[in-house]
């Protein structure tokens, strides 16, 4: 799989917003500005933040609504600073120190985040699911020697970059999507259909939605290898005609992305050499 172009500046993705704003004391007007920027740009960043996990969760609730999806209270980990822990906030990286054990390696492949939507009854797969990732401690470089990044694909742009005949074919197709979160033993893994081409609930733009390589094209439910090959070939077609935007992390960045509009992948780093701590919150947005 060859990336034709990786860009650090993108015509739409990665807009910096709310400069000099402390998100712990965000105003209602700033909330609306942030949300409108997110729907318009797909990926936005607020820099120079210094928040605890509880403050990040409170900000997420105030901004996007009080979603209880995925908020599972659990005891504090004594090996991790209390300020980094709060129900509903995930810790990615190696917060316990230099070690090959990294939380969140599952994100080191291209995917959309809609973690709980497939297994939550009554939720539309096209619902607005926003993820925010707060970079507390950033590695100096990735395994390729370049700055530490997260990469994004604009799936609105990707739709328009495909030739018209291919777009028309995709508009007739849907895929089944599974939650990446493993179920308890004996629990059947639920899945929901999502059209490959959908209409964004706020902007009305056409977007491609692929989930991840575990997605199954409707009609190929009993042919998992064929389904995986179809997904990979479709994704390669998209990657060949759509530039990849790389967000270069700085400590204190909070990057927000709208999973109806973008795919993303985390990038590997040497966890035996560098410490990485990122706090992640995923919320159902109330538009």
Cβ neighbours for 282, distance < 8 A, ≥ 6 positions apart = 69, 70, 113, 115, 116, 129, 130, 131, 132
What is the Cα–Cα distance from 148 to 130, expressed in whole angstroms?
Answer: 22
Lookup result for tokens 């409108």: 36
Per-position DSSP letters for 117-178, written without gaps between them? TTTSTT--TTS-EEEEEEEEE--S--TTSSPPEEEEEEHHHHHHHS-HHHHHHHTT-EEEEE
> What region does 110 belong to: left with phi over 0, alpha with psi -120 to 50, or beta?
beta
How big is the chain by its Cα radius of gyration, in Å? 19
CA distance linking residue 239 with residue 112, whole number of Å: 15
pLDDT level of residue 70 (50, 70, 90 thresholds): low
Residue 173 CB-density burial (10 A; 0-12 exposed, 13-18 middle, 19+ buried): middle
Domains of the chain in start order, with CATH, are 6-69+82-284 (3.60.130.10)
Please write the tens of the pLDDT for every residue from 108-128.
999 999 877 888 888 889 999
Strands 90-93 and 244-248: unpaired
- The string of pLDDT tens digits covering residues 163-220 is 999 999 999 999 999 887 777 777 777 889 999 999 999 999 999 999 999 999 999 9
Specify the pTM: 0.94
């Amino acid at each position: 799989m060859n990336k034709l172009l990786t860009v650090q500046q993108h015509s739409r993705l990665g807009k910096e917003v709310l400069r000099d704003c402390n998100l712990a004391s965000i105003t209602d007007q700033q909330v609306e500005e942030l949300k409108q920027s997110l729907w318009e740009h797909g990926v936005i960043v607020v820099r120079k933040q210094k928040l605890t996990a509880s403050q990040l969760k409170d900000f997420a609730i105030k901004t996007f609504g009080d979603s209880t999806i995925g908020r599972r209270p659990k005891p504090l980990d004594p090996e991790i600073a209390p300020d980094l822990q709060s129900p509903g906030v995930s810790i990615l990286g190696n917060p316990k120190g230099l070690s090959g054990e990294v939380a969140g390696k599952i994100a080191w492949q291209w995917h959309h985040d809609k973690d709980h939507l497939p297994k939550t009854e009554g939720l539309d797969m096209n619902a607005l699911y926003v993820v925010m990732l707060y970079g507390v401690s950033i590695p100096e470089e990735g395994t390729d020697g370049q700055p530490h990044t997260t990469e994004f694909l604009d799936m609105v742009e990707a739709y328009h970059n495909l030739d018209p005949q291919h777009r028309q074919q995709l508009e007739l197709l849907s895929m089944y999507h599974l939650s990446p979160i493993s179920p308890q033993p004996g629990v059947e893994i639920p899945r929901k259909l999502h059209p490959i081409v959908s209409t964004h609930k706020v902007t009305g733009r056409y977007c491609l939605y692929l989930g991840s390589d575990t997605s199954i094209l409707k009609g190929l439910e009993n042919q998992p290898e064929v389904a995986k090959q179809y997904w990979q070939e479709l994704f390669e077609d998209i990657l060949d005609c759509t530039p990849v935007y790389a967000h270069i992390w700085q400590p204190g960045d909070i990057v927000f992305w709208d999973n109806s509009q973008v795919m993303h992948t985390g990038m590997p780093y040497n966890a035996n050499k560098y410490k990485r701590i990122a706090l992640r919150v995923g919320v159902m947005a109330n538009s």
